[in-house]
């Protein structure tokens, strides 16, 4: 199998691009980090890539709103590049700030909708929060989550609370299988009622930690899978002897690579 190529697009303020590129390389892909200005200057750089990734960090310092400036750049200067990844059999992944950028772009929802079905806003506690969380995928519909029953990952964000527009939007997202992964307790229990902090670390509606588009090829989540690739990343690695050879986050990147097998 030829290695699929992953395009990791960084911007001023992005700070997780190196770890994300390493994660894709570890999973078997060829990862290339490209500054957004390089892509704007030469959009054809993206033509040879099968995977597009918006990594975590604080693009443009989140000066207006998390992900807003980067999203405007893509909307005004790179819309054709984005459309290729949306409409062809390719994958798109957004992590934390990358997920925020994707939400601002509206690529998870029908472009004809006057207002998006969901948004990301400030955590309920109104501050930046960093901790480890348990996650429960809804199904194998999302390419990146196939074969994962439960996963433990770190999160670090201030604007990660997902809220849906109204009851109708909630029903439509459920019907389209767009609710991809939820916060859960250590036993895997989740649901539509908001779990208490810190199990649900930001107050997200329905405990939602990540969503996908209706095809399952475009996925965004707030926790950081690239920050748990090795047992030594685990908060209890010095005290827990039965940790697996690789961190649980690696499976998300391997699923992307295996999609092109």
The residues assigned a catalytic role are 96, 224, 226
Query: Burial letters for 210-240: b for 16+ Cβ neighbours within 10 Å, e otherwise?
Result: bbbbbebbbbbbbbbbbbbbebebbeeeeee
- Please compute Rg for the chain using Cα positions: 17
Q: Which residues contact 200 (CB under 8 A, 6 or more apart)?
A: 183, 194, 207
DSSP string, 23-79: HHHHHT-EEEEEEHHHHHH-GGGGGG-SEEEE-SB-GGGGSSSTTHHHHHHHHHHSH
Terminal C-alpha separation, the chain = 6
Q: Which residues contact 146 (CB under 8 A, 6 or more apart)?
A: 140, 255
Output the six-digit token pair for 142.
């999302």
Q: Is 119 strand, coil or helix?
A: strand
**How would you classify the pairing of strands 218-221 and 91-95?**
parallel
For residue 103, which of 194, 177, 178, 195 has the smallest C-alpha distance? 178
The angle formed by the CA atoms of residues 88, 91 and 97, to the nearest 5 degrees, is: 130
For residue 20, which of 259, 224, 246 has the smallest C-alpha distance? 224
């Amino acid at each position: 199998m030829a290695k699929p190529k992953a395009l990791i697009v960084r911007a001023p303020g992005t700070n997780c691009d190196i770890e994300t590129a390493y994660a894709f390389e570890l999973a078997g892909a060829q990862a290339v980090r490209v500054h957004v200005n390089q892509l704007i200057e030469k959009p054809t750089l993206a033509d040879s890539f099968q995977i597009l990734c918006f990594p975590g960090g604080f693009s443009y310092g989140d000066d207006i709103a998390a992900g807003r400036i980067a999203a405007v750049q893509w909307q005004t200067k790179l819309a054709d590049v984005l459309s290729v990844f949306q409409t062809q059999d390719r994958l798109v992944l957004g992590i934390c700030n990358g997920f925020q950028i994707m939400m601002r772009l509206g690529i998870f929802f029908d472009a004809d909708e006057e207002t998006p079905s969901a948004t990301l806003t400030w955590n309920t506690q109104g501050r930046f929060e960093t901790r480890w969380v348990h996650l429960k995928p809804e199904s194998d519909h999302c390419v990146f989550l196939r074969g994962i029953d439960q996963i433990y990952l770190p999160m670090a964000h201030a604007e990660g609370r997902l809220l849906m527009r109204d009851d109708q939007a909630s029903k439509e997202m459920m019907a389209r299988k767009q609710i991809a992964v939820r916060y859960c307790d250590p036993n895997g229990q989740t649901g539509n009622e908001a779990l208490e902090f810190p199990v649900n670390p930001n107050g997200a509606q329905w405990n939602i930690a990540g969503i996908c588009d209706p095809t399952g090829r475009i996925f965004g989540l707030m926790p950081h899978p690239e920050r748990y690739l090795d047992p030594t990343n685990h908060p209890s690695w010095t005290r827990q002897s039965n940790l697996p050879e690789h961190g649980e986050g690696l499976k998300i990147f391997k699923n992307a690579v295996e999609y092109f097998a």
